Amino acid sequence: MLSERYEDALIFATRLHSRQVRKGTRVPYITHLLTVSALVLEDGGSEDEAIAALLHDAIEDQGGDSARQEILRRFGANVARIVEGCTDADTLPKPPWRERKEAYLAHLYEAPADVRRVSAADKLHNARCIVRDFREQGEVFWSKFKGGKDGTLWYFHELVKIFQSFDRSLLVDELARTVAELDQLAGRNEG
């Protein structure tokens, strides 16, 4: 069962991201955080992992070090460590896209299992949304990504390789299937 800490994290995340929407949409950002947290719980994650899933973009998108310190204060060192492990940049302006993604991929090889679980859930939800949006918008859809079509597909393939090298869970398997579906929609024969 989830405790009041989870409820507190849900309220905190909702308020923190209240003015944020999913890239290129009007969908409130909290929908992403709720989905990632649900995926973590469905995969057997702990309450700390589920809380970190709700907060996984807080440092990156909502305040850098001040968000980090508030997470540490409110939810403890373990949650803060997981959130930190899911953060690919905490400075503005962010480093160039490819550099940031390569550093994050390298970091995942050293990351503990709880960080990889939250990250895999995040990437699965992102990949599912990309598949859905690509179906609706077609090739023009890729323009909203800094990595474009090729960079985005490269990144997801690298993520799948890393996650599969550590974890053969339903979560990782679903990410691999979703990336393969994205390849098909994008007219690529990789997988």
Mean pLDDT, rounded, for 50-75: 93
Residue environment code for 136-172, b if the CB has 16+ CB neighbours within 10 A, otherwise e: eeeeebbeebebebeebbebbbebbebbeebbebebb
Read off the pLDDT of each residue in 56-85 and give the average, rounded to a whole number: 93
pLDDT single digits (tens) 12-26: 999 999 888 887 778
Highest mean pLDDT among 25-34, 43-52, 58-67: 43-52
Residue 174 lies in a domain: yes
Q: What is the pLDDT of residue 106?
A: 97
Q: Is residue 100 part of a domain?
A: yes
Catalytic residue among 8, 47, 61, 158: 61
pLDDT band of residue 58 (cuts 50, 70, 90) is: very high
Cβ-based neighbours of 133, under 8 Å, separated by 6 or more: 24, 25, 141
Q: Give the whole-angstrom CA distance, residue 90 versus residue 40.
A: 23
Domain around 107: 4-185
Q: In this model, does residue 188 exceed pLDDT 90? A: no
- Residue 44 maps to a domain: yes
The CA radius of gyration of the chain, in Å to the nearest whole number, is: 16
C-alpha of 74 from chain center: 21
User: Active-site residue among 49, 60, 70, 122?
Assistant: 60
CATH number where 168 lies: 1.10.3210.10
Residue-level pLDDT at 187 = 84
The answer to whether the predicted template modeling score (pTM) of the entire model surpasses 0.85 is yes
Question: What pLDDT sits at residue 191?
Answer: 43
DSSP annotation of 29: T
Residue 191 in any domain: the answer is: no
The confidence band for 189, taking pLDDT boundaries of 50, 70 and 90, is low
Answer whether residue 55 is part of any domain.
Answer: yes
Is 190 part of a structural domain of the chain? Answer: no
Is 174 among the residues known to form the active site?
A: no
60 counts as catalytic: yes
- Domain tally, the chain: 1
Mean pLDDT of 121-129: 97
Question: In residues, how long is the chain?
Answer: 191
Whether 111 is covered by a domain: the verdict is yes
**Encoded amino acid at 79, one letter:** V
Read off the pLDDT of each residue in 147-160 and give the average, rounded to a whole number: 95
Chain position carrying tokens 């970091």: 107
